[in-house]
Structure 1
Amino acid sequence: MLMRQKGFSIPEIMVALVIGMVLILGATTYLMTNLRASRDIVAQAKLNQDMRVIMDLMTRDIRRAGYYGTATDTANFAQLFRTNTGNPAFDAATSDNNAACIVYRYDLDGNGALAANETYGFMFSGTDRTAYLRQASATGTNCSGSKGASGTVDWLALNDANQIEITRVQFCYVNPATPNDIPPASCNTFPTGTAIQAIAVILQARLTGKPDSTLTLLQRIQLRNLPTAS
């Protein structure tokens, strides 16, 4: 005797397909959300790491300002050049265009004489969204000169603005009367001819194109050699 075969009807198959597609879509959405979250966490960690490396570089080098090996050339070494005259151009989006450059000297070879490659510094360009390190080949005591990511430029880029934008750098005088005022209520100008004990550095950056990822670092740098301001 022949048995009639039974199977799924077309409506049942359609319902099963729809349910399967919904489950797949949900799983895919969950996976993509996790991937984006992981990518953002990695990018934020990179921002944090890169900015701390830059701050550490600034701290370690600025702390050397004013050092000289002997007392034969103290006038040249014991100076800080922090002026707006030679600062780069700033655009309207820059939060603060003051105190964004510092130039200083220290006796790298310990011979007590000022050499051409013993003037150092850092500066910030709001237009480039980049912080720069002064190379040994640079001349003068201001922020003029060529800028770039590599090569024989006067100022060497410390960040890639295509990935990380630096939005604020300030070098401020720390008044001994308020040594813990970090960040200062206002970025104090450097006094002339007065031994400077400490400098406040404010570094602010974000992931390029992501304003909500802003990171701000504050650092008080105690100067070991008490240079004066020019």
Structure 2
Amino acid sequence: MSLIELMIGLTVGLLVMLSALTLYTVNLRYAADILGAARLNAELRAAMDMMVTDIRRAGFGGSAFTKHGVSDLALFEDGACLVFTYDANQDGSWKHDADDKISGSYELFGFKVDDHILKVRQGGGDLKACNSGGQWHGLTDPASVRIAREEPVFSIDYHCRRRDTGASAEGQRCQPGVTLYEAAKADHQAASAEASDTALPIELIETRLVHITLEGSLTQDPTIHARRTQAVFVRNHRVVSITASD
């Protein structure tokens, strides 16, 4: 074998090895991306499932909220924080205290995105406490997943049906809005002022739909990102009766 033939053979062999190495590197990168995407989706799906299951319970034990004048579901921090409460231990109160004192540990829950971490709340003394003073704990690991906060994470659509308690007609659809109770109350007061006699009381039944947008990326590779959305129908409706004197 001549020197030229040997050099040609070595060159061809190196090209084959380079092609094989390139193909292996590409496949390794592709497999890593698939594994990372699967891990990210699993993290977001697990967090979403937990939020959906818990948010559905908001308002359970409604008599407790009527008694204390407390909202059972509220948004703060431009939609980055959702807080709610329900009677978890079914004792007829949204507080753990047996003597129903104002101070103590409450059955308060919630979710928020803070510092690119999805956090969960259990307990605390203020429904509006979305700051670090509440009992918040990390639900996602910042070492592996980074949760985005570029858009509202939570939003609520309110719908209600209005029914005159003294009439047999079916309820009318109220226009969706932020404060349906106040709008219906104003309409009722206006109708009562125009009527020659006192208007009949009305009953409002409000349903709520919580929209969740959860978006995140891998901390070590921000190019791998995922976005999940879910609409949660709150099972416990709010009911209130309004009279002309309200």
Give TM-score scaled by structure 2 length.
0.68
* Residue equivalent to 2:208: 197
> Which moved further from structure 2: 167-176 or 100-109?
167-176
Residue 154 of structure 1: how far off its partner (Å): 2.1
Residue 25 of structure 1: how far off its partner (Å): 0.8
Matched residue SS, 1:144:
coil
* Residue equivalent to 2:147: 166
Residue 210 of structure 1: how far off its partner (Å): 4.4
Cα 1:78–1:221 change in 2 (3 A) is same
Residue 50 of structure 1: how far off its partner (Å): 0.9
> Is 2:199 the partner of 1:215?
no
Aligned residue identity for 1:130: I
CA distance in 1 between counterparts of 2:25 and 2:85 reads 52
* Residue equivalent to 1:102: 82
Does the Cα contact within 8 Å between 1:172 and 1:190 map onto a contact in 2?
no
Matched residue SS, 2:159:
coil
Aligned residue identity for 2:179: P
CA distance in 1 between counterparts of 2:76 and 2:156 reads 12
* Residue equivalent to 1:131: 118
Cα 1:34–1:226 change in 2 (3 A) is same
Does the Cα contact within 8 Å between 1:172 and 1:189 map onto a contact in 2?
no
Residue 124 of structure 1: how far off its partner (Å): 0.8
CA distance in 1 between counterparts of 2:11 and 2:89 reads 76
Matched residue SS, 2:88:
coil
* Residue equivalent to 1:156: 137
Cα 1:36–1:159 change in 2 (3 A) is same
Residue 80 of structure 1: how far off its partner (Å): 1.7
Does the Cα contact within 8 Å between 2:214 and 2:227 map onto a contact in 1?
yes
CA distance in 2 between counterparts of 1:190 and 1:65 reads 18
Q: Which has the higher strand share?
A: 2
Cα 1:225–1:75 change in 2 (3 A) is farther
CA distance in 1 between counterparts of 2:121 and 2:177 reads 21
* Residue equivalent to 1:82: 75
> Is 2:29 the partner of 1:42?
no
Does the Cα contact within 8 Å between 2:153 and 2:212 map onto a contact in 1?
yes
CA distance in 2 between counterparts of 1:33 and 1:134 reads 43
Q: Which has the higher helix share?
A: 2
Cα 1:131–1:192 change in 2 (3 A) is farther
Residue 205 of structure 1: how far off its partner (Å): 1.3
Residue 71 of structure 1: how far off its partner (Å): 3.8
Does the Cα contact within 8 Å between 2:159 and 2:177 map onto a contact in 1?
no
Aligned residue identity for 1:140: D
Mapping for residues 52-71 of structure 1, pairs under 5 Å: 52-68=45-61, 71=63
Does the Cα contact within 8 Å between 1:200 and 1:218 map onto a contact in 2?
yes
Cα 1:118–1:42 change in 2 (3 A) is same
Segments of 5+ residues of structure 2 without an aligned counterpart are 97-104, 161-175, 183-205, 240-246
* Residue equivalent to 1:5: none
* Residue equivalent to 2:13: 20
Give TM-score scaled by structure 1 length.
0.72
> Is 2:125 the partner of 1:144?
no
Does the Cα contact within 8 Å between 1:103 and 1:122 map onto a contact in 2?
yes
Residue 11 of structure 1: how far off its partner (Å): 1.9
Cα 1:160–1:189 change in 2 (3 A) is farther
Residue 117 of structure 1: how far off its partner (Å): 4.3
Matched residue SS, 2:119:
strand
Residue 226 of structure 1: how far off its partner (Å): 2.1
Residue 190 of structure 1: how far off its partner (Å): 4.7
Segments of 5+ residues of structure 1 without an aligned counterpart are 1-7, 85-97, 147-152, 178-187
